[in-house]
Structure 1
């Protein structure tokens, strides 16, 4: 067997095959407009014949661009798999970046060691910009991005990002609206499983719940849990039932949390919606897995990913970060759970 590696075709090989200079080939490869159609056709044919593959690493050194955008997800590994919103954000961002010939690099920050490693990675010039999901206030990743002056856009709106670009929804207003609709069904003892209060989305959803109930708000009927997860929904609902067995309405701050809460309620013999009305937030695949289907808020996760990617690309073209702020609509979707 011949174990010799085949020699990689070069720009010189393409130029000789096409009968043009190496400079002309380079101009075509780098997208310069001042090349005749005849030369372009000859170069395209030569590339196909000699099997030339551009050396993107070398091109990146010349252009000082990696043509890669990092998507940093600051969540535990388990939630990255469980939360369909993260997948939708990723796919939305990837579609936009792919259209612009950029590669998406997915980076997960679970532990403090991950954060230290990612901070070092960001300094290496291996990515041109970042999209950051689930950042907290005071997040070390946010601080590293600001220090490096990387083009960046957040999914969500942490309060300490200054003029940085972000794509978000009105979490507070949407939570207020769906809680009012739940109360309008006649519920008098409404509780909340409030998740992820260390980030803007969780804190704003709790604030909207408080707004909606006004003088009827009872802080004892709020159960705080760390993550937007099914298991935290179960834990939160068990705790609420233990303290308030007569509860007749629940706002869960994500669909996964709501699904976990519904499982606990039904196992305890509570009928949904006859005994307890339940509403969630996201309109993710979790909302249609429950029985009955979940009333919720539609979060346009894919559109958020696309908007954040568009903002990073705009910054790479020289536009200002603050021009890339977008707040998307998030309507209530009413189903059988309430």
Structure 2
């Protein structure tokens, strides 16, 4: 019969190090001990193979040492959108250094919202990073009612109760990019406006409209639901049908722009000779298109890092009043326009 190996305990460490159990506990909990005692305890931990019982410690401290990463996007977009991955990796890098586990939670339906709300209420995470919340999204109220430390990526219009956010100036960047597209001599400019039910999409449409001023034609705005390739194809076909003379297009994301360029090739139109096109994000999509895409650089990794830092500051009880951040998002001009 195989005998089950006994798990090493704090008592074993104390005996091996020649110190009290209380001294070992102080080292494990980050307290002060002498350098000699710390060295002896660390050597004893290695000798006896002690592994801290994190679950028990977290139960006592009422901490999970986990942060939820809530992505309010269709599952298909999670796999296609490189910005989401970059934000996630940026957040994880900061959480890892702080010895926190990131728990990924996908919300793609009302049932998902209810399930995640129960999970958050159960104390399984110490805080949350919320990506792509729409205005009046139920998860906003859930987070606020729980008083859970949280940071939003983006800022829905009804975001309140002191919950900080990290984002970019979508309207200002869209306005600057559209202005530069106009400066290339394009006369009939349309937009494939994606995700206008959230702040990023709505603000990019606002910036586009402001840049065009009196030249803005609402008939040359093709609204599509998602920042993805297939929506770009659909949106471009809509614009071509609306006005075949269109010679400039602002696509609300790089993936949307890539889809638009596919539709233009199918229609026998060349970029940039017939139509100049610009995107948004400066993601991997921007360099995969032919020609390479003029776009706005969204610092996705830095956004993730900043969001994680803001959550951890709240978890630690640090003052986070007016901690929301707007990061720079410069134009990257290539040859698609």
Is the counterpart of residue 12 in structure 1 residue 11 in structure 2? yes
CA–CA distance in 1 between the matches of 2:245 and 2:291?
Answer: 21
Secondary structure at 2:77 match in 1: helix
Secondary structure at 1:292 match in 2: coil
Counterpart in the other structure of 1:117? 115
* Structure 1 residue 227 displacement after superposition: 0.3
Once the two structures are superposed, the pairs formed by residues 131-280 of structure 1 within 5 Å of their partners are: 131-162=129-160, 163-280=162-279
* Structure 1 residue 100 displacement after superposition: 1.3
Is the counterpart of residue 42 in structure 1 residue 40 in structure 2? yes
Give the total of aligned pairs.
336
What do you get for the CA RMSD once the two structures are aligned?
A: 1.0
* Structure 1 residue 110 displacement after superposition: 1.2
CA–CA distance in 1 between the matches of 2:55 and 2:136?
Answer: 34
* CA shift digits 1:179-231 (9 cap, x unpaired): 01111111111000000011000000000000000000000000000000001
Counterpart in the other structure of 2:73? 75
* Structure 1 residue 5 displacement after superposition: 2.8
Counterpart in the other structure of 1:331? 330
CA–CA distance in 1 between the matches of 2:6 and 2:75?
Answer: 42
* Structure 1 residue 96 displacement after superposition: 0.9
Runs of 4 or more, structure 1, over 4 Å off, are none
Tell me, which stretches of 5 or more residues in structure 1 are unaligned?
A: none
Choose from 53, 61, 86 the match for 1:88: 86
Counterpart in the other structure of 2:95? 97
* Structure 1 residue 321 displacement after superposition: 3.5
CA–CA distance in 2 between the matches of 1:26 and 1:198?
Answer: 51
Choose from 43, 48, 51 the match for 2:49: 51
CA–CA distance in 1 between the matches of 2:224 and 2:23?
Answer: 61
CA–CA distance in 2 between the matches of 1:190 and 1:138?
Answer: 32
CA–CA distance in 2 between the matches of 1:218 and 1:319?
Answer: 48
Using the size of structure 1 for normalisation, the TM-score is: 0.98
* Structure 1 residue 141 displacement after superposition: 1.2
Once the two structures are superposed, the pairs formed by residues 316-327 of structure 1 within 5 Å of their partners are: 316-327=315-326
* Structure 1 residue 255 displacement after superposition: 0.2
Is the counterpart of residue 303 in structure 1 residue 302 in structure 2? yes
CA–CA distance in 1 between the matches of 2:3 and 2:155?
Answer: 54
* Structure 1 residue 8 displacement after superposition: 1.1
* Structure 1 residue 112 displacement after superposition: 1.5
CA–CA distance in 1 between the matches of 2:310 and 2:251?
Answer: 31
CA–CA distance in 1 between the matches of 2:110 and 2:319?
Answer: 31
CA–CA distance in 2 between the matches of 1:42 and 1:52?
Answer: 14
Q: Does 278-287 or 231-240 show the bigger shift?
A: 231-240
Q: Does 227-236 or 62-71 show the bigger shift?
A: 62-71
